[in-house]
């Protein structure tokens, strides 16, 4: 896992699922961790009590609130942008307000959080964005809005990698496939269809995604930037 003692880490969306696993990994490796949450105060309190991390309430859909939370975190060594929502369904009937909120959280928040983190980040820092394999391919009908947002994340990652590269700051996107979380449980109704498309026929564990994030945050990954790192069990190959 590596030693992150003395490193300042912020995880946007750290109260559940992949985000909580990332908080646990960095805290166990000695980092000083802050994480944001919005609608899960009890879960956030439990993760904070377990790890010693600091929970910060911030709605990623609110640009000013989000920027203020990142700024208040102080100079960071590592920023992980994990907050995201899923909107799925026929684009002809999806609620436009739900699609706007998805874009606010999955796209605009990623941009503004990445920029604000870079503004205050130490040289040789790390920005890691949790995207999705849906940024590359769409296996299931009804995924248009979500795929739009995750393709946009790829452009943000490449652009910020170019903009911040002179300071040694790396920016990468981690693209999970199915992961066993509240959003997409391994026992859910879509699981058999997803597994039928995969070379490794199971959901990933959140800890496996967190381990990849830890590698990208480590000194060993200092020359990896502007990439999409896919962890999807070979879905759609």
What pLDDT, on the 0 to 100 scale, is given for residue 1?
63
71-86 confidence digits (pLDDT tens): 999 999 999 999 899 9
Residues 6+ apart with CB under 8 A from 192: none
In percent, how much of the chain has pLDDT > 70?
Answer: 100
Predicted confidence (pLDDT) per residue in 43-54, tens digit: 999 999 999 999
Q: Which residues pair with 204 in a beta bridge?
A: 179
Burial of 141 (0-12, 13-18, 19+ CB in 10 A): exposed
Predicted local distance difference test score (pLDDT) of residue 182:
86
Report the catalytic residues: 146
How many residues does the structure list for the chain? Answer: 237
User: In which residue ranges of the chain is pLDDT below 50?
Assistant: none
Distance between CA 197 and CA 176 in Å, rounded? 14
């Amino acid at each position: 896992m590596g030693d992150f003692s003395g490193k300042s880490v912020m995880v946007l969306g750290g109260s559940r699922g992949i985000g909580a696993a990332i908080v646990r990994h960095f805290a166990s490796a000695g980092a000083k961790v802050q994480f944001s949450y919005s609608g899960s105060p009890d879960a956030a309190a439990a993760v904070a009590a377990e790890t010693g991390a600091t929970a910060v309430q911030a709605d990623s859909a609110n640009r000013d609130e989000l920027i203020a939370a990142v700024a208040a975190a102080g100079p960071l060594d590592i920023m992980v942008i994990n907050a995201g929502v899923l909107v799925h369904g026929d684009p002809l009937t999806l609620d436009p307000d739900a699609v706007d909120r998805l874009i606010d959280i999955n796209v605009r928040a990623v941009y503004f959080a990445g920029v604000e983190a870079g503004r205050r980040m130490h040289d040789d820092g790390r920005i890691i964005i949790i995207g999705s394999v849906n940024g590359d391919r769409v296996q299931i009908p009804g995924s248009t809005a979500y795929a739009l947002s995750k393709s946009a994340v790829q452009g943000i990652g490449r652009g910020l990698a170019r903009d911040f590269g002179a300071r040694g700051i790396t920016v990468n996107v981690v693209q999970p496939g199915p992961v066993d979380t509240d959003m997409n449980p391994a026992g859910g109704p879509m699981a058999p269809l997803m597994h039928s498309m995969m070379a490794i026929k199971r959901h990933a564990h959140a800890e496996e995604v967190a381990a990849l994030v830890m590698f990208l945050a480590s000194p060993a990954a200092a020359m990896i930037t502007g990439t999409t790192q896919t962890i999807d069990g070979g879905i759609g190959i």
